[in-house]
Structure 1
Amino acid sequence: MTNKDHCPNAVTYTTVINGYCKIGDLGTAHKLLDEMRECGVVPNSLTYSVLIRLVFRRRDVEYGRELMRKLWERMKDENDPSLNTAAFANLIDSLCREGFFNEVFRIAEETPQGISVNEELVYRHMIDALCRAGRNHGPEWLPREVGPLSST
């Protein structure tokens, strides 16, 4: 890209990293993450969440947790709340899709995202993701003050 006078940014890198993650090429995704940093482009919270999806798909729980710690740290510094919301939703969907429900419940208990994501959106998305994954009894474990999902 830079050879053709295109200046890649976090969105560009994240999109390409996501493509490599979708085809299961974690090595190239990591090379792009390193290149991103070398070029002075800061990975955003969504960048980490797309990497986490592939890591959990590969069942590398320890590395997935390490990346989640980086995600939570990045969320604290993120200026765009919509990026944090998208990253959180992507993370929860990925964990549920891959069957890591205990990780979702741990996140619900510990709230490592803090105030980086709207609390109501956090629980509503968890409930939705758990139900879509066939864990209809899972939402019973989440806090009661969330209330019913709206139809909007």
Structure 2
Amino acid sequence: MVTYNTMIHGFCKKGDLYTARRVLDRMKDSKDCLPSTVTYTTLIDGYCKKGELEEAMKCMSEMNKQGCLPGLFTYNALIRGSFNKGDIKNAQKVFDEMTCKRDIITYNTMIHGFCNNGDNYAQKVFDEMTCKRDIITYNTMIHGFCKNGDNYAQKVFDEMTCNRNMITYNTMIHGLVKKGDLDTARRFGLNEG
């Protein structure tokens, strides 16, 4: 099993998904070394990274039919792949259908994807998080609000429960300059925000 999974990972990393798929098919045909969740997830992640979301979803369907339960890494790969392909609905569908506990990577990927697409649903995901927010979560939300010219960025900044970093301040300054609020931007630049 480990040898097959390593081969599939190597072919995926190289971008040779055709050969990776053939290795998985050989495993299924052998009957003595069937693909596992790790095997399918490796191929799904490879498809997603190459922008082949439809193939990744087919692989997920096959995985379920084979009785392999998707794990957190499977879902996170599909969510990231969906957003990278611009398929917001599929990302939301995968997120909603998760059968395991979501982690910070899941939430940050959803928030980042929605913010990049100018979708206000990022706020809902942010508000409903069931794990502790980190600096990436806050910086992504602030960036999304600043990008859209929304005053809520200041509220998120003020409510941060972790230490701010240079990205936090630079994002706020950029958003304030973009809005024409140079006085407040100057105060942020002097770390008085």
TM surpasses 0.5: yes
What residue number does 1:55 align with?
A: 82
C-alpha distance in 1 between matches for 2:38 and 2:153: 33
Could you tell me which runs of 5 or more consecutive residues in structure 1 were left unpaired when the two chains were aligned: 77-83
| Alignment of 1:127 onto 2:138 | yes
Q: State whether residues 107 and 125 of structure 2, in contact with CA within 8 Å, keep that contact through their aligned partners in structure 1.
A: no
Evaluate the alpha carbon distance shift between residue 16 and residue 67 of structure 1 in structure 2; reply closer, same or farther with a 3 A threshold.
same
The letter of the residue matching 1:19 is G
Q: Taking CA–CA contacts closer than 8 Å with sequence separation of 6 or more, which of the two structures ends up with the larger relative contact order?
A: 1
How far apart in 1 are the matches of 2:96 and 2:44? 19
Which entry has the higher C-alpha Rg, 1 or 2?
2
Q: Any gaps of 5 or more consecutive residues in structure 2?
A: 1-23, 167-193
Contact kept in structure 2, 1:95 and 1:104, CA below 8 Å: yes
Superposed CA RMSD: 3.3
| Equivalent residue pairs, number | 135
Which of 136, 141, 148 lines up with 2:163 in the alignment? 148
Q: Find the aligned partners of 2:106 and 2:141 in 1 and give their Cα distance.
A: 17
Equivalent position of 1:75 in the other structure: 101
Give the 5 Å matches for 1:1-152: 1=24, 2=27, 3=29, 5-71=32-98, 73-75=99-101, 84-96=103-115, 98-100=116-118, 102-109=120-127, 111=128, 113-114=129-130, 117=131, 119=132, 122-130=133-141, 135=146, 139-142=153-156, 144-149=159-164
2-structure distance, mates of 1:132, 1:8: 41
What corresponds to 1:81 in structure 2? Answer: none
CA distance 1:139–1:91, change in 2 (3 Å): same
Contact 1:53 1:95 in 2 (8 A): no
Q: Deviations over 1:61-86 (max 9, x none)?
A: 33332222113x5327xxxxxxx234
Runs of 4+ with >6 A deviation: 131-134
Q: What's the TM-score once normalised by structure 1's chain length?
A: 0.65
Over the matched positions of the two proteins, sequence identity in percent amounts to 22
